Amino acid sequence: MKVIYDQETDTLSLILREEKIKESEEIREGVIIDYGKDGRVVSIEMLDASENVAAPQGIYYELKEPKMALAYA
């Protein structure tokens, strides 16, 4: 996954998969979902990001730990 904030256009993009976009849908004003040929989400784009995100220049990444550890036999 890649996160890109473009200060010039004030756009925040979350690229989930490197794949050609077949279709885009604006699900709400300024929020665009891009889909691949298989219909799965490829990326999410937010316009006017600085108005919607507390700190678009910073990224906080959290990886949740599994609730149960897997036991190997």
Q: What's the mean per-residue pLDDT of the chain?
A: 89
Does residue 27 lie within any of the structural domains? yes
Does residue 57 lie within any of the structural domains? no
Does residue 41 lie within any of the structural domains? yes
User: Which of 3, 12, 14 has the alpha carbon at shortest distance from 50?
Assistant: 12
Amino acid at 36: G
| pLDDT per position as a tens digit, 22-39 | 999 999 999 999 999 999
Say if CB 57 and CB 5 are below 8 A apart: yes
* Confidence category of residue 60, pLDDT binned at 50, 70, 90: confident
pLDDT of residue 39: 96
| pLDDT per position as a tens digit, 9-19 | 999 999 999 99
User: Given the structure tokens 């691949």, which residue do they identify?
Assistant: 36
Q: Kindly state the tokens that stand for 56.
A: 């678009």
Maximum Cα–Cα distance for the chain, whole Å? 54
Does residue 60 lie within any of the structural domains? no
Rounded CA gap, 36 and 44, in Å? Answer: 12
For 23, the domain range is: 2-50
